[in-house]
Structure formats: C-alpha cells, structure tokens
C-alpha cells in the first residue's frame, strides 16, 4: 500500500504541493516569491481558480501559530494581487478549507482564489 503524502499525519516529508513547489511535479505557476507560490487549480471551479500556497508546509490553517502571523497576512495580500492582475480585482472569493470535513484534500495550507462567474453565498 502506498502511503498518501497528503494526510495530516503522513510519514512522507513532502506534500503534493511541496513537490510542485520543488518542481518535482508539474504546476502552472502564475506567481512566486520567497514566501509563497501561486498555481492554477488543476480542476477549476471558476474561470479563475488559483491556489496561493506558502512554501512552509503548514498542514491546515488550524495548525498555524502566532509565528505564522506575517506569513498569513502575506498570503492574503498575494491573493488580492493575483486576482487584480487577472482582471478580477473587483469580485473574487478567497477560501480556505480546513480539515477533511470542510473539504480539504491536500494537507498543505492553500488559499483558493475564485472569480470570473457569479459566486453564491453560502458555498455548498
């Protein structure tokens, strides 16, 4: 049996997103800096669907600590920047799924940036 790399208690040191960040797996990069990368979601839920991923492999938002405060703020600013640069700065959604029960499937913190269609509230 192959161990998943994307469970919170995985013995593997690398998540799927870490492998993309390290260029061990392909990713469609639209932005990167010293703290994070932004890639296109492989299964987009909207015309614009980007993932803002910190280089630091925090499994879930709920695993972040006060030492991550500046990083978390940076991720939000990058989310806004890439939405604006994609021409969607006036109407976009930023979402974080925290835990399997909330739909998280990759246990490396990431912000979804969705735009380009009407976005209803609340999400399903």
Token pair of 94 as six digits: 């930023």
Q: How far is the CB of 63 from ligand AMP (least distance, A)?
A: 14
84-103 residues in contact with ligand AMP (CB under 6 A) are: 97, 103
Give the x/- contact pattern for ligand AMP in 3-42, rule: CB under 6 A: -------------x----------x-----------x-xx
Is residue 105 within the footprint of ligand AMP (CB under 6 A)? yes
> Is the separation of the CB atoms in 52 and 46 below 8 Å?
no
Binning the chain into helix, strand and coil, the percentages to the nearest 5 are 25, 20, 55
How far from 32 is each of 47, 52, 108, CA to CA, in Å?
A: 21, 9, 16
108 is known as an active-site residue: no
Is residue 104 within the footprint of ligand AMP (CB under 6 A)? yes
């Amino acid at each position: 049996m192959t161990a998943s790399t994307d469970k919170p208690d995985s013995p593997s040191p690398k998540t799927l997103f870490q492998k993309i960040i390290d260029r061990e797996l392909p990713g469609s990069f639209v932005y990167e800096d010293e703290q994070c990368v932004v890639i296109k979601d492989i299964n987009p839920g909207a015309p614009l669907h980007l993932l803002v991923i910190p280089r630091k492999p925090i499994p879930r938002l709920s695993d972040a600590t006060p030492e991550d405060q500046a990083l978390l703020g940076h991720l939000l600013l990058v989310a806004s920047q890439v939405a604006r640069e994609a021409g969607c700065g006036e109407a976009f959604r930023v979402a974080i799924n925290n835990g399997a029960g909330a739909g998280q499937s990759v246990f490396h913190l990431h912000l979804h940036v969705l735009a380009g269609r009407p976005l209803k509230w609340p999400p399903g």
